[in-house]
């Protein structure tokens, strides 16, 4: 097992290398970072040239990628534009953990920029994922055990509504009902934007209150797919011979459902969860935008729209690494759940 994990990690290195190369080339088409840095007054073209030199944007793309990857502290760069490279480079490159500095945030390190937002996103997305998984398991199992019952049909209908609904719609709808109208009716109403009320401060209660609507919106949309998945795998498992054997042994129903059936049904469910977990880090772009949640999704959108290549690259690479790591974790969980799976 340990050897398998090490081998998978080693295999991930060339993969991540290719991913970074492709992403870096794509970044070149995001637009000109300098164009959005000028502020209100029209900048002179000489200033722009200087800015490009300082940011290293005057170099060919291959050199830019090389500097991004391994840094440029081993060479000298030409900052004043006289054709002589005399200033020693400062960057260390991602291989040494330096993702460069944000272009938008004026030299703030990329890792710092990401780190400021990551906990907020993990809080929001972690809570949503937890609600989705627990809710989907409960509802999925329930409707599998009572297939074609009234509740099964109702849950199925609601799931399809959720599945077909764009998230911005459900987000705005919940705002309209639980904030706008509740306030109008004189009921206790929920906050719509931000993580906390600045007048009160960042307390646990405030953050929890502000999480309700975004978590509900996210859960409602993704819950549908998950619960249908749980339902269909449970239905399949419950018709297997070994479930009949378990029943013929006179085991109590909960043992049959939650041990004999669910352990078998969990394999495909774990796959889906494993594929979705890395995306938790990415945040929910639309939801965070609508609820003004200071998370990764909003960070990505803000910086991508201003061609902040270092930050966008940092976010994307972090997600790529997470995908690879979670795939390995899923494989390990597989082997733990299903004794027939052994890696050599």
Which lies closer to other proteins via its Cβ, residue 44 or residue 244?
244
Main-chain dihedrals φ then ψ at residue 104, nearest 5 degrees: -75, -45
Residues contacting residue 329 through CB under 8 Å, at least 6 positions apart:
274
Which lies closer to other proteins via its Cβ, residue 256 or residue 312?
256
Cβ 330 to other proteins shortest distance, Å: 16
Tokens of 74: 């081993």
Residues contacting residue 78 through CB under 8 Å, at least 6 positions apart:
53, 84, 85, 86, 87
Tokens of 170: 């459900």
By three-state DSSP, how is residue 62 classified? Answer: helix
Binding mask 274-313 for other proteins (x = CB under 8 A): ----------------------------------------
By three-state DSSP, how is residue 55 classified? Answer: helix
Which lies closer to other proteins via its Cβ, residue 11 or residue 149?
149
Which lies closer to other proteins via its Cβ, residue 41 or residue 248?
248
Which lies closer to other proteins via its Cβ, residue 153 or residue 249?
249
Cβ 148 to other proteins shortest distance, Å: 8
Q: CA 126, 132, 135, 138 torsion: positive or negative? A: negative
Which lies closer to other proteins via its Cβ, residue 29 or residue 239?
239
Segment 240 to 269, residues that bind other proteins, using CB under 8 A: 240-242, 244-253, 255, 259-260, 263-264
Torsion of CA 304, 31, 65, 70, to 10 degrees: -40
Cβ 259 to other proteins shortest distance, Å: 7
Segment 79 to 108, residues that bind other proteins, using CB under 8 A: none
Which lies closer to other proteins via its Cβ, residue 82 or residue 241?
241
Which lies closer to other proteins via its Cβ, residue 239 or residue 344?
239
Q: Which stretch binds other proteins (CB under 8 A): 111-119, 155-163, 220-228, 333-341?
A: 333-341
Cβ 341 to other proteins shortest distance, Å: 10
Cβ 145 to other proteins shortest distance, Å: 11
By three-state DSSP, how is residue 308 classified? Answer: coil
Cβ 1 to other proteins shortest distance, Å: 16
Quickly list H helices, 28-60: 45-55
CA distances 329 to 145, 156, 223, 332, 335, Å, are 30, 31, 23, 5, 10
Cβ 242 to other proteins shortest distance, Å: 4
From 62, 95, 130, 337, residue interacting with other proteins (rule: CB under 8 A): 337
Which lies closer to other proteins via its Cβ, residue 158 or residue 335?
335
Tokens of 68: 């991004």
Q: CA 99, 100, 102, 103 torsion: positive or negative? A: negative
For other proteins, how many residues bind (rule: CB under 8 A)? 23
Mind giving me the DSSP string for 224-279?
A: HHHHHHHHHHHHHHHTSHHHHHHHHTT--HHHIIIIIIHHHHHHHHHHHHHHHHHH
Segment 223 to 242, residues that bind other proteins, using CB under 8 A: 239-242
Cβ 211 to other proteins shortest distance, Å: 36
Cβ 328 to other proteins shortest distance, Å: 21
From 30, 268, 338, 343, residue interacting with other proteins (rule: CB under 8 A): 338
Q: How far apart are CA 238 and CA 202, in angstroms?
A: 47
Residue 162 backbone class (left: φ over 0; alpha: ψ -120 to 50; beta: rest): alpha
Q: Which stretch binds other proteins (CB under 8 A): 166-174, 306-314, 317-325, 332-340?
A: 332-340
Site residues, other proteins (CB under 8 A):
239-242, 244-253, 255, 259-260, 263-264, 337-340
């Amino acid at each position: 097992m340990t050897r398998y994990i090490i081998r998978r990690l080693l295999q991930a290195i060339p993969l991540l290398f290719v991913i970074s190369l492709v992403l870096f080339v794509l970044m070149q088409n995001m637009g000109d970072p300098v164009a959005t840095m000028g502020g209100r007054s029209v900048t002179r073209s000489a200033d722009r040239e200087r800015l490009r030199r300082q940011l290293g944007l005057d170099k060919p793309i291959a050199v830019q990628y090389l500097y991004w990857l391994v840094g440029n502290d081993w060479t000298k760069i030409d900052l004043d534009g006289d054709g002589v490279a005399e200033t020693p480079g400062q960057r260390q490159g991602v291989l040494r953990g330096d993702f460069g500095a944000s272009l938008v945030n004026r030299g703030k390190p990329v890792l710092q920029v990401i780190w400021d937002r990551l906990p907020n996103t993990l809080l929001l997305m972690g809570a949503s994922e937890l609600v989705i998984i627990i809710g989907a398991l409960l509802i999925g199992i329930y409707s599998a055990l009572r297939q074609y019952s009234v509740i099964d049909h109702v849950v199925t209908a609601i799931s399809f509504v959720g599945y077909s609904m764009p998230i911005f719609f459900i987000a705005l709808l919940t705002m309209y009902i639980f904030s706008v109208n509740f306030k109008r009716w004189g009921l206790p109403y929920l906050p719509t934007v931000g993580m906390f009320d600045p007048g009160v401060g960042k307390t646990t209660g405030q953050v929890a209150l502000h999480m309700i609507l975004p978590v509900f919106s996210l859960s409602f949309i993704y819950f549908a797919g998950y619960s249908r998945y749980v339902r269909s795998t449970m239905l399949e498992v419950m018709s297997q011979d070994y479930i009949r054997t378990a029943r013929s042994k006179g085991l109590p129903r909960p043992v049959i459902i939650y041990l004999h059936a669910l352990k078998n049904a969990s394999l495909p469910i774990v796959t889906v969860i494993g594929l979705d977990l890395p995306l938790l880090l990415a945040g929910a772009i639309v939801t965070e935008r609508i609820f003004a949640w200071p998370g990764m999704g909003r960070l990505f959108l803000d910086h991508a729209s201003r061609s902040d290549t270092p930050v966008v690259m940092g976010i994307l690479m972090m997600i790529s690494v997470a995908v690879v790591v979670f795939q390995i974790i899923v494989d390990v969980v597989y082997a733990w759940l299903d004794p027939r799976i052994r890696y050599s």
